[in-house]
Amino acid sequence: MSPPSSFTYTLTPLQQESLIRTIEGGPLQTRAVPHTRIAAQGPQLSIALYTSGKCVIQGKGAREWITFTFEPLVLGEARLGYEDQHHPEWFESHMGIDESGKGDFFGPLVISAVHVTAADVQVLQDAGVRDSKRISSDRLIREAAKAIRKQVGSRLTVVEIGPEAYNRLYEKFGNVNRLLAWGHARAIENILDLVPDCPRAVADQFGPKHRIESALLHKGRTIHLHQQPRAESDPAVAAASILARERFIGKLEAMSEKAGCPLPKGASSLVKDAAVALIKMHGPEALHAYAKVHFKTYGEVLRMAGVPTPGHSEHGGDPS
């Protein structure tokens, strides 16, 4: 997998003004792009500053422009290539945990954990490993997952909770975040079996910290758990997000083949249409084997298919 050629920043109002002045006073050609304050392009480079303050810099020339223009003139500091100084904790021995499938009606919930060292982080960054949500295609997800496995070897785990098990566990826990905490705890325990002296685990913030800690067994009680918003910026968490997404994609493809009809990602109208088709082919009970039935989508598709709706929790496409 090649290094990333797309970079996203959130700029302060002052940084936005600096970027506008830099573009207007330089050689780049400005262009009209919807919802932007300014957009420009040059040789192998495109820049868009959106009204939200998000700045996207893309192209083969992005790294050079960021290093020699954007960082000194707009950010006022060097970041790209200096992650070991800005985020030294990334380069310490630790594990990252992330999940995939939480907001998807069809398919499993997958939680992955990856242990990294300083040497691993450098190689993964050079390979372009980043949060799976920023990777645009299934092919690139699989390429990134291959690079991760090549580097970290056996120091990874993937916990797959298929729809039938997921639905049973949801009935037991009554809350998605409790179920997630249970899955995260299992992934942490699995890594500690492989790397007993791993001192720290990093995960996204999805609920009170004590939920994961209370789900850990005796072995996991000694690890320092750090939960933070947007934890996917940590290379270990980014690697875990990719492995979880790869497993989710592969499982959803296998389930689609077994069902005899495509099972789309997400919880959109396409998903509802697919669920109605599945009901017509295999009956309403089939949804328990293919879908997360506490989503409000479940009741909606039963009504669409003319099936009486049983009582169930009304959660949306991205449950909490």
Grouping H, G, I as helix, E, B as strand and the rest as coil, residue 68 is: helix
At residue 79, the pLDDT reads 57
Going by C-alpha positions, the residue among 157, 201, 204, 198 that lies closest to residue 180 is: 204
Report the alpha-carbon distance of residue 63 to residue 260 in Å, rounded: 45
Please give the Cα distance from 219 to 179 (Å, whole number): 20
Query: % helix / strand / coil in the chain, to the nearest 5?
Result: 50, 20, 30
The answer, as to whether pTM is greater than 0.75, is no
pLDDT of residue 5: 77
| Residues in contact with 136: Cβ distance below 8 Å, sequence separation at least 6, in sequence order | none
First to last CA, the chain: 34
CA 94, 250, 277, 291 dihedral sign is negative
Domains of the chain by range and CATH?
A: 6-80 (3.30.310.10), 91-252 (3.30.420.10)
What is the reported pLDDT for 214? 82
Count of CA atoms in the C-beta half-sphere (13 A) of 74: 26
pLDDT attached to residue 193 = 94
Contact 57, 64 (CB under 8 A): no
Give the DSSP H/E element, type plus range, for residue 239.
Answer: helix 235-259
Query: For 249-288, b where at least 16 C-beta lie within 10 A, e where not — what string?
Result: bbbbeebbeebebebbbebeeebbebbbbbbeeeebeebe
At residue 320, the pLDDT reads 41
pLDDT at 80: 58
pLDDT at 77: 60
pLDDT (tens place) for every residue of the chain, 320 residues total = 555 578 999 988 878 988 999 999 889 999 999 999 999 999 999 999 999 999 999 999 998 898 888 987 888 765 555 555 557 888 899 999 999 999 999 999 999 999 999 999 888 877 778 778 777 789 889 988 999 999 999 999 999 999 999 999 999 999 999 999 999 999 999 999 999 999 999 999 887 777 888 888 766 678 899 998 888 889 999 999 999 999 999 999 999 999 999 999 999 999 999 999 999 999 999 999 999 999 999 999 999 999 987 555 445 554 54
pLDDT of residue 140: 86
Residues shown for the chain: 320
